[in-house]
Amino acid sequence: MPRENAADYGSTLELLPEWYVLVAKCGKCRHQGRIERRAIAGIHGWGVDLNSIGRMLKCSRCGNREGNKLLLGKLPRD
């Protein structure tokens, strides 16, 4: 059974299926950008709670650290 987005928010980076991409959205300028999960794991470890990642993000465009969100997107699967 494929899991839905909502379920994964109670999960950790380590348990997130491979076909999800992580996208950061800035709470200030609305900039969105892909995040490499390895980049997060390198800093916070693979056991990091997905709910807590948003608070750790910094916008690459305006440098904002407040109100940023982590979005999960699905890659098309062949």
CB of 12 to Zn ion, least distance (A): 26
x/- string (CB under 5 A) for Zn ion, residues 23-52? ---x-xx-x---------------------
CA separation for the pair 78, 70 (Å, rounded): 25
Q: Give the one residue of 62, 66, 74, 75 binding Zn ion; rule: CB under 5 A.
A: 62
CB of 27 to Zn ion, least distance (A): 8
**Cross-strand pairs, 20:** 74
